[in-house]
Amino acid sequence: MRKIGVLTSGGDAPGMNAAIRAVVRKAIFHGLEVAGIKRGYTGLISGDIVPMDLGSVGDIIHRGGTILQTARCDEFRSEAGQDKAVAKIKEHGIDGLVVIGGDGSFRGARILSDKGIPTIGIPGTIDNDIPCTDYTIGFDTAVNTVVEAVDKIRDTATSHERTYVIEVMGRNAGDIALLAGVACGAENVLVPEAKYDIAAIVEKLKRGAARGKKHSLILVAEGAGKGFAIGEVIRELTGWDTRVTVLGHIQRGGSPTAFDRMLASKMGAKAVDLLIEGDQAKMIGVQGGKVTATDINEALCTPRSPDMTLYELAGVLSI
């Protein structure tokens, strides 16, 4: 192993920069060269590849987004596109690759490994929807962003005695809604992993109102339904002043939390270790506090679900 390439792909997530930094610095520490590939697989196909040194990752550990930029690349889904990427990797003398992204990006990483390019995946997505890791880079920051926003909404909800439906991100995973729901003391949390019954939710809201509650917060994971539609049904069934906020892309930005910076630093360093050891087609994770490496095929096939004890807890603590 003489030269390592690093790219970020798919949806961005706070902490990706910290992961890039860790890959670059750990590789240089071991005497390797590093190439930064711009815009994920798009830059791999077009050859938008730049040398990276210690300074090129200075002053980025605290920044959201990704200095390498990211993209969704349809051309890379075709074999012709993949072969172009492999040719560019060889042309640039890259011996191993680190792909920071979500499950789509890992499918690409597996293909590159199958084509003889040792590739390691680092899970970077706010959704926390990747199996074989307890946390993905960016998730903790997104949860904290949601908590901060919901706390602010709570202030105005209390003043005006309103019900708020707040839709949060997560694609098909309810992790953001669950953790933020518990942390914000939401009355109801709707996640795709559990069936819900609007009539029961309304009953609970009415019970709360009967004992003097002045406001209610309902967190909806985007995979569980549309906030505006749910708000409309609640308004109809209660006759209450019900407002809806879709938090949207603020959840993808911002300075990464200390937790995400730590996670990214550990995962980036581990990815380089694996490549140096001659390993490939692995995904880095953190399980039970330990940094792990799982076969990328296994990571792509394993079913996952969030910690559903949190779902029960959210229900119990908001009776």
Q: Which residues are catalytic?
A: 127
Residues 6+ apart with CB under 8 A from 50: 35, 36, 38, 56
Select the residue interacting with ligand ADP from 47, 60, 72, 313 (CB under 6 A). 72
Residue with tokens 């920069």: 17
Q: Rounded to an integer, what distance in angstroms lies between the CA atom of residue 178 and that of residue 16?
A: 23
| Residues linked to residue 35 through DSSP beta bridges, in sequence order | 5, 51
Q: Which residues are annotated as a binding site?
A: 11, 21-25, 72-73, 102-105, 125-127, 154, 162, 169-171, 185-187, 211, 213-215, 222, 243, 249-252
Q: Does 304 bind ligand ADP (CB under 6 A)?
A: no
Total count of residues recorded for the chain: 319
Select the residue interacting with ligand ADP from 48, 56, 67, 77 (CB under 6 A). 77
Q: Which residues are annotated as a binding site for ATP?
A: 11, 72-73, 102-105
From residue 82 to residue 111, the character string flagging contacts with ligand ADP as x (rule: CB under 6 A) and all else as - is -------------------xxxxx-xx--x
Interface with ligand ADP in residues 9-38 (CB under 6 A): 9-11
Interface with ligand ADP in residues 215-234 (CB under 6 A): none
Q: How far is the CB of 81 from ligand ADP (least distance, A)?
A: 8
Pair of tokens at residue 228: 């505006």
Q: How far is the CB of 237 from ligand ADP (least distance, A)?
A: 37
Determine the residue with CB nearest ligand ADP: 104
Q: How far is the CB of 18 from ligand ADP (least distance, A)?
A: 17
Determine the size of the site formed for ligand ADP (CB under 6 A).
17
Helices 198-210, 227-238: axis angle to 10 degrees equals 50
Q: Does 192 bind ligand ADP (CB under 6 A)?
A: no
Using a 10 angstrom Cβ sphere, with 0-12 exposed, 13-18 middle and 19 or more buried, the burial of residue 265 is buried
Q: Which residues are annotated as a binding site for Mg(2+)?
A: 103
Residue 22's CB is within 10 A of a number of other CB atoms, namely 26
Q: Does 41 bind ligand ADP (CB under 6 A)?
A: yes
| Residues linked to residue 292 through DSSP beta bridges, in sequence order | 285
Residue with tokens 């040398």: 51
Is the Cβ of residue 36 or residue 104 nearer to ligand ADP in the bound state?
104
219 membership: H or E segment, kind and range = strand 216-221
Interface with ligand ADP in residues 115-154 (CB under 6 A): 125
Q: Rounded to an integer, what distance in angstroms lies between the CA atom of residue 83 and that of residue 116?
A: 11
121 membership: H or E segment, kind and range = strand 119-123
Q: How far is the CB of 40 from ligand ADP (least distance, A)?
A: 6
Closest CA to 168 of 187, 142, 186, 194: 142
The binding site for ligand ADP (CB under 6 A) comprises: 9-11, 41, 72-73, 76-77, 101-105, 107-108, 111, 125
